[in-house]
Structure 1
Amino acid sequence: MTVSNTAIHSDPDTRTADDQPPPVAFAFPRHTWKEIAYLLTNLLAALIGFVYVSFTIFLGAGLSVTVIGVPFLALALAGARLIGKSERARARALLGVRVDEPSPLNGGRRDEGVFAWVWASLRDPVAWRTVLYCFIRMPWGVVTFSVMSVGLFVLWPVLPYIARGLANADRAMVRGLLSPSDELERRIAELESDRGVVVDTAAADLRRIERDLHDGAQARLVALAMDLGLAKEKLLEDPDAAAVMVEEAHGEIKIALQELRDLARGIHPAVLTDRGLDAALSSIASRCTAPVKVSVELAERPAAAIEGIAYFTVSELLQNVSKHAQARSAAVDVWQSDDRLLIQVSDDGRGGAQLDGGTGLAGLSERLGAVDGLLVLDSPVGGPTTITVEIPWRARTEAQGR
């Protein structure tokens, strides 16, 4: 079974599966030397951070009664963010501490003006926690440097154990003060990343629609206008030839209308808006190369956006059945479970599908992840294949229903 999440493997010398350092040993292995190096460099790093925040923060606070005071304080806090970033990198390299990077200031938006940026900087919890970290680290840096300096010459046999204890205190400070503030902060960072996927997908869809209009219906309608112009010229001179040209133009109109219908179906099909998921998915199933049984058990219709996601997800999965599965039959089941809309598409084909197997499942999984959805693939070689999709449920409002 494959889930559209990836596991991150780290350096075995710096962390284990549960983010803990390797056991201490009397011999000085690589991770112990890294801890010692971290503790010895604490004093320099703490001194730089303490001097920076002491000078800039207090100066900015003192100048706050002037015009330049508040912007200066905002810039000082932005610099504190950079110190936090460098400290996370140092802890990652030498202590094996993996903490998520905080979300960008003000969501990474740069189009809201200077005043919005200054106000966001002054309220930035990430920067203020870094300031607190820099103040705490100054006395701690003196302690760790002193203990390690003495220990290298006097306490050599037990130095690994001393280094581990001090380094664990450092790990706790990094996780407590330099990691994202809470689950919401981490969620914001994820959504900022997912927003790029949504934007790219929307841009690709717009380019596809533009290309289909230009190469399909638009080109056909231009040719049709020219043919009708020629038929008009021949109407008096050669009525029979004009009638033939009009008949051909009539056929071209039918083709153009069908192309426009297909294009509109790719944007948002009318049957989905008018009759809901059951009828729309049955329409998709009728175009599959294998017989498809559709079952939709919903007490109410979800929001239009959720219906659209479900529709195009099933459409893409059934296209994969037609192209790759070599199936004799397939099934689509849709139901609601608490606050999730669940979709399951299964077939009795040859199986062996993979998220990176060139069937578009990786892209579909990525697009679903951008809306907080999840795709789970179960496709052993020889079949059957079952793909389960979860989408957040949002009920249709009364205005949407009308």
Structure 2
Amino acid sequence: MATQYGQYGQYGDYGDRSRQGEAPGAGAGGRRRHRLPAVLRAPVEARAWREFGYVLLSLPISIVLFTFAVTMLSVGAGLLVTFLGVPVLAAGLAACRGLGSVERARARGLLGLDVAAPEPLRPRGKGAMSWMGAVLKSGTSWRHVLYAVLHMPWAVFSFTVAITFWVYGWATLTYPLWFWLFPLYGGQDGLQLYGDDGHRVYLDNPFEITVTALLGLLITLATPWIVRALTTVDRVMVHGLLGPSRLASRVVELESDRGVVVDTAAADLRRIERDLHDGAQARLVALAMDLGLAKEKLREDPREAARMVDEAHGEVKTALQELRDLARGIHPAVLTDRGLDAALSSVASRCTVPVQVEVDLVERPAAAIEGIAYFTVSELLQNVSKHSGARSAAVDVWRVEERLMVQVSDDGVGGADASGGSGLAGLAGRLDAVDGILVVDSPVGGPTRVTAELPWRRGE
């Protein structure tokens, strides 16, 4: 099982993508393996025809979009000398946004490109003036207009190229089936390649017909890939101009991450409160009661009182150990004083299997990143102790440019479940809150390798 949370950054992916539990004859993602290579089956695949249909529809749709956008902009700009230009421009921009939703739906249906809707308008007040101001100030509105203007010349080019290759490819491929039409209805010997006053060249003998069909086959096989390359530009335009802006996407991501951080902090506070209430606090209450009883017994039975005080002394040691463990769970002193190397070595010493720790860092990252890396390793080593059945494990920490890499591996049974609701999923959420990534590579039978990638932030 290979699971990734977040997006792969520029530092590559981790581990092989061995897939478990796929049906025979299935490939990546459970898709059926085809006997024919992709280049041979592409001309008859539904995807090729959908992309070709997208290119065909792009021409009339782009002409409508271009005409509408240029007309509304021209009329609105011309009327700006009066107040009428403002509502005309606002209406034109709003209509372009609506037409953009149609284009996103078309790309979703024919290209399989799922582009989220851009951020909605947020007028600062109520009324038509506020709405028009929001439309005119929105960068998304102007990006939709830019799409309408730029897409038309590209649609003309892609339509011409796609139609030319598609028609010539299939026409020459099927030429042996219909070349007889020329002598029968046209009075010619076949398809004429060249002609002047002196002589003419026709495709009319078996050799020439066969070569023509083979050439048509090559063109037909290449056409779907040419059309796919053309639609790649359409994908870029739809994603870049009709989707949410990078800034808006980043704001939404940060808002989501903020919620994760708040929920995590609240969960940690509840855990600390529960540990104090059920652990050290309850033990100290019992200790106070025992000392009170020992005080009453002191005069009547000094020996019994001494025994009770001795038991209370043991309870004090236990309570102190629980408080130390709780403090270590909040933020260990060894991490603050000596850094990740010593702190992770301390965590590894408490693991039930031998753990080799290697930290290759010239300098320390920021305290927040250091703490997240520490607790990530702590939780992963707990999983190794409880669930892996491993005989050994390893922890590696290193830096790659501006990223802190943390990897925990073991030789256990594998099959780590990173689905929603599991501990690994919660850990991935914590990492994502600081722009981190969690990659789980745990095929059934092992080994397991979990890699965490955190942003490098220099410590003070």
- Structure 1 length normalisation: TM-score? 0.64
Partner letter of residue 4 of structure 1? Answer: Q
Aligned to 2:382: 319
Aligned to 2:4: 4
Q: In 1, Cα distance between the equivalents of 2:124 and 2:314?
A: 56
1:66-215 equivalences in 2 (<5 Å): 80-94=96-110, 96=111, 98=113, 100-101=115-116, 104=119, 122-134=136-148, 171=231, 174-175=234-235, 177-180=237-240, 185-186=245-246, 189=249, 192-193=252-253, 195-197=255-257, 199-214=259-274
**Given the alignment, which residue of 205, 221, 225 partners 2:281?**
221
SS of equivalent to 1:371: coil
Is the 2:356–2:395 Cα contact (8 Å) retained in structure 1?
yes
SS of equivalent to 1:344: strand
SS of equivalent to 1:132: helix
Is the 1:53–1:131 Cα contact (8 Å) retained in structure 2?
no
- Going from structure 1 to structure 2, the CA distance change for 1:122 and 1:302 (only over 3 Å counts) comes to farther
Structure 1, gaps ≥5 residues long: 13-17, 145-156, 398-402
Q: Does 1:345 align with 2:345?
A: no
Is the 2:365–2:459 Cα contact (8 Å) retained in structure 1?
yes
Deviation at 1:88, TM superposition (A): 1.1
- Going from structure 1 to structure 2, the CA distance change for 1:24 and 1:313 (only over 3 Å counts) comes to same
Aligned to 2:339: 276
Partner letter of residue 270 of structure 1? Answer: A
Deviation at 1:361, TM superposition (A): 3.0
Deviates more, 1:278-287 or 1:34-43: 34-43
Deviation at 1:133, TM superposition (A): 3.4
Is the 1:129–1:177 Cα contact (8 Å) retained in structure 2?
no
SS of equivalent to 1:266: helix
SS of equivalent to 1:313: helix
Q: In 2, Cα distance between the equivalents of 1:119 and 1:55?
A: 19
Is the 2:118–2:244 Cα contact (8 Å) retained in structure 1?
no
Q: Does 1:305 align with 2:321?
A: no
Deviation at 1:186, TM superposition (A): 4.5
Partner letter of residue 409 of structure 2? Answer: S
SS of equivalent to 2:240: coil
Aligned to 2:50: 31
SS of equivalent to 1:179: helix
Deviation at 1:307, TM superposition (A): 0.6
Partner letter of residue 133 of structure 1? Answer: Y
Deviation at 1:353, TM superposition (A): 3.3
**Given the alignment, which residue of 384, 390, 395 partners 2:458?**
395
Partner letter of residue 434 of structure 2? Answer: V
- Going from structure 1 to structure 2, the CA distance change for 1:83 and 1:60 (only over 3 Å counts) comes to farther
Aligned to 1:360: 423
Q: Cα deviations across residues 253-296 of structure 1 (Å, max 9, x unaligned)?
A: 65555444433333322221121101111121121111212221
Is the 1:344–1:386 Cα contact (8 Å) retained in structure 2?
yes
Q: In 1, Cα distance between the equivalents of 2:426 and 2:309?
A: 45
Q: In 2, Cα distance between the equivalents of 1:121 and 1:375?
A: 40
Is the 2:377–2:408 Cα contact (8 Å) retained in structure 1?
yes
Q: In 1, Cα distance between the equivalents of 2:271 and 2:89?
A: 50
- Going from structure 1 to structure 2, the CA distance change for 1:125 and 1:299 (only over 3 Å counts) comes to same
Aligned to 1:292: 355
SS of equivalent to 2:356: strand
Deviation at 1:180, TM superposition (A): 2.1
Is the 1:105–1:120 Cα contact (8 Å) retained in structure 2?
no
Aligned to 1:151: none
Q: In 1, Cα distance between the equivalents of 2:309 and 2:91?
A: 72
Is the 2:439–2:451 Cα contact (8 Å) retained in structure 1?
yes
SS of equivalent to 1:306: helix
- Going from structure 1 to structure 2, the CA distance change for 1:91 and 1:236 (only over 3 Å counts) comes to closer
Query: Based on CA coordinates, which of the two structures has the bigger radius of gyration?
Result: 2
Q: In 2, Cα distance between the equivalents of 1:193 and 1:92?
A: 23
Is the 1:99–1:175 Cα contact (8 Å) retained in structure 2?
no
Partner letter of residue 412 of structure 2? Answer: G
Deviates more, 1:366-375 or 1:335-344: 366-375
Is the 2:140–2:242 Cα contact (8 Å) retained in structure 1?
no
Q: In 1, Cα distance between the equivalents of 2:280 and 2:449?
A: 41
Q: Cα deviations across residues 346-394 of structure 1 (Å, max 9, x unaligned)?
A: 2232334354498633443454344333344444444333333332222
Aligned to 2:210: none
- Going from structure 1 to structure 2, the CA distance change for 1:170 and 1:288 (only over 3 Å counts) comes to closer
SS of equivalent to 2:140: helix
Aligned positions, number? 364
Q: In 2, Cα distance between the equivalents of 1:81 and 1:329?
A: 58
Q: Cα deviations across residues 105-159 of structure 1 (Å, max 9, x unaligned)?
A: 69xxx8x9669999886554332021233467799999x9xxxxxxxxxxxx99x
Aligned identity (percent) is 44
Is the 2:73–2:89 Cα contact (8 Å) retained in structure 1?
no
- Going from structure 1 to structure 2, the CA distance change for 1:103 and 1:136 (only over 3 Å counts) comes to closer
Q: In 2, Cα distance between the equivalents of 1:104 and 1:202?
A: 24
Q: In 1, Cα distance between the equivalents of 2:400 and 2:275?
A: 43
Aligned to 2:398: 335
- Structure 2 length normalisation: TM-score? 0.57
- Going from structure 1 to structure 2, the CA distance change for 1:225 and 1:354 (only over 3 Å counts) comes to closer
Q: In 2, Cα distance between the equivalents of 1:138 and 1:391?
A: 43
Deviation at 1:171, TM superposition (A): 5.0
Q: In 2, Cα distance between the equivalents of 1:211 and 1:205?
A: 10
